[in-house]
Structure 1
Amino acid sequence: MSEENITRITLDNKEYILIGTAHVSKQSAEQVKEVIEQEQPDSVCVELDKQRYESVMNDNGWRDMDIFQVIKQKKATLLLMNLAISSFQKRMAKQFGIKSGQEMIQGIESAEETGAELVLADRNIQITFSRIWGSMGLKGKMVLLSQVLAGVFSQETISEEDLEKMKSKDAIDSVLNEFSESFPALKRPLIDERDQYLAQKIKHAPGEKVVAVLGAAHVPGITKEINKEQDLKKLTARPPKSKLPKIIGWSIPLLVIALIVYTFITNPDAGWQQLLSWLIWNGSLSAIGAIIALGHPVAVLTALLAAPITSLNPLMAAGWFAGFVQALVRKPHVADFESLSDDVHTVKGFWHNKVTRILLVIVFANIGSALGTFIAGTDIIRVFIQHL
């Protein structure tokens, strides 16, 4: 058996065998099967949490999704980003004729076949996202989103030889050092904290021999952190929500209303000018966002009418109403949910699938409304100052 990509650690008379994998590598899946069958471990740890485990094991999970519930729970943007990020791995997996996450599936299957206890060793993905988002400023969030989307929609291919090189520790360390310089706030919750969490879960896995199936990027960190005791409670705490967005969210509409009312009292003509600016900019830009998403004309009209009202209430958003209408008039069929994982491979697929089109209508109508609020708000202040 080749020892390449395998790290062996002995600690307190317990043996840990870490397999560094690439998530879309056929060789990785084959190596996982070979190692577990030969080592016959007491436990097999996989780099999954419960949510991703269910996603990996349930190919038909999309069929059960209620798009109306997604809209009501305000999870449209999060779902769209999850689909966008996963599409990159799925595209590479398709290129190599292997299911994304096959090495994790192999670890799960081999654990069952050998009678080893399966341990889901990774931190909850929502907690990781929450800690990433909470640690970044507005500029960092915008740069991150733009780079994620650029990577998702890039049609660049990668050779299997390059993919195997990605699993070497030296290459991974070098990438992470670069990553740390570009996004120091992102590397900590995404890599460092998960190294600590994974190390603790692996260390306390049952039995005297433990095999861990991991992305190669985590192996160096886990090798270092497994010698320490980690505070899982601290690592799973969600960052406190800032009150600033809520304060700003209510301050802007209250200021807009106050300025328009005051201007109406002192100069009705200028007040009508402000009100018209608010209606036109909010409604038209939100409608344009829905059009960009190829929304149904009724959904576009909904965005046009809803945006000037919803922009005055931080608890509502024009995109939710437009998306709800889009879902009603262009209700997704079972086939749309079944083809979702394939459609997200391309930009065309995102716009073609009825499910993702609903999500795009929500997101783009909201972006348009936000731009409209900024432009109209600036114009209202300009008119107010002019007629003081």
Structure 2
Amino acid sequence: QNGVMSGLMQMLLLKVSAHITEQLGMAPGGEFREAFKEASKVPFCKFHLGDRPIPVTFKRAIAALSFWQKVKLAWGLCFLSDPISKDDVEKCKQKDLLEQMMAEMIGEFPDLHRTIVSERDIYLTYMLKQAAKQIELPRASENEPRKYIPAVVVGVVGMGHVPGIEKNWNSDLKIQEIMSVPPPSASSKIFKFVLKATVFGLLGYGCYRIGHRTVQFVLSMPATQSYLQRLTEVPQ
């Protein structure tokens, strides 16, 4: 169920992305594409995608929402048509407004904020800390002491993740828990069973009605009636 809902949510988010692209004349995520281009120009530069895999994030987000929250979120994404200007984007860069938007999201969808923002803050922080570890220099022999040099890391993240990264930087982070997808709840299993039973029931009833009408139509044809009449005639 989470897989289907995750797929539907991705389709809705693609619709939102298309809406933003149409309004602004540019696709979201341009800063990440530019970062990749610039990194490719630096000799010996390694480029890492440090965000949590999208399927994991979507499945955890969907699993965290109740049925009505899913309906409410899908409805809002389906009918998103508010105009967006470049000035609006610039306003979102202001820290106070950004914090206000985050607070509104927490108030309306607290579990969605936790899975899409807070958990990814932890994951991004963990990946940045892994990348920032000191680099061991090669040794000429086993007896030579180990030498390290600091790593030079440039992290490109969304503005909404900066406060969370700063908050989690000095923490001992474990990402195993936020990488797992929780199993569907009992209510979700019941809903899935009822939905399947309803769909198959409607399909079966539809096939029955179509078959019944088809048989009636065929039997009402003159050629069919003539053929049946010949079959029922008893030879003298």
TM-score, normalised relative to structure 1: 0.44
1:105 aligns with 2:33: yes
How much has 1:210 moved relative to structure 2? 1.6
Aligned with 1:197 (options 99, 120, 123): 123
Q: Is the 8 A contact 1:96 1:160 kept in 2?
A: yes
SS in 1 for 2:173: coil
1:138 aligns with 2:67: yes
Aligned with 1:165 (options 71, 76, 91): 91
Look up the match of 2:17.
89
Distance in 2, Cα, partners of 1:303 & 1:103: 53
Q: Is the 8 A contact 1:90 1:100 kept in 2?
A: no
SS in 1 for 2:156: strand
Distance in 1, Cα, partners of 2:129 & 2:78: 36
Distance in 1, Cα, partners of 2:205 & 2:52: 38
Q: Is the 8 A contact 1:192 1:221 kept in 2?
A: yes
Distance in 1, Cα, partners of 2:28 & 2:173: 30
Letter matched to residue 33 of structure 2: I
Distance 1:221 1:252, change over 3 A: closer
How much has 1:306 moved relative to structure 2? 8.7
Distance in 2, Cα, partners of 1:209 & 1:87: 37
Look up the match of 1:375.
none
Q: Is the 8 A contact 2:21 2:27 kept in 1?
A: yes
- Greater gyration radius: 2
Greater strand fraction, Structure 1 or Structure 2: 1
The root-mean-square deviation of aligned C-alpha atoms, in Å, is 3.2
How much has 1:176 moved relative to structure 2? 0.5
Q: Is the 8 A contact 1:169 1:220 kept in 2?
A: no
Aligned with 1:242 (options 185, 190, 195): 185
Distance in 2, Cα, partners of 1:91 & 1:248: 32
Look up the match of 1:213.
156
How much has 1:199 moved relative to structure 2? 0.8
Q: Which runs of 5+ in 1 are unaligned?
A: 1-73, 257-277, 284-301, 308-388
How much has 1:147 moved relative to structure 2? 1.5
Look up the match of 1:178.
104
Cα deviation per residue 1:318-347 (whole Å; 9 max; x = unaligned)?
Answer: xxxxxxxxxxxxxxxxxxxxxxxxxxxxxx
1:117 aligns with 2:117: no
Letter matched to residue 91 of structure 1: H
Q: Is the 8 A contact 1:167 1:216 kept in 2?
A: yes
Aligned with 2:170 (options 214, 227, 230): 227
- Over the matched positions of the two proteins, sequence identity in percent amounts to 28
Moved more, 234-243 or 78-87: 78-87
Q: Is the 8 A contact 2:6 2:58 kept in 1?
A: no
Look up the match of 1:383.
none
Distance in 2, Cα, partners of 1:224 & 1:82: 29
Letter matched to residue 9 of structure 2: M
Distance 1:81 1:244, change over 3 A: closer
How much has 1:75 moved relative to structure 2? 6.4
How much has 1:202 moved relative to structure 2? 0.9
1:230-379 superposed matches below 5 A: 230-247=173-190, 250=193, 282=202, 304-305=206-207
How much has 1:239 moved relative to structure 2? 0.9
SS in 2 for 1:132: helix
TM-score, normalised relative to structure 2: 0.69
How much has 1:203 moved relative to structure 2? 1.4
Cα deviation per residue 1:203-233 (whole Å; 9 max; x = unaligned)?
Answer: 1115532211111111111111112121111
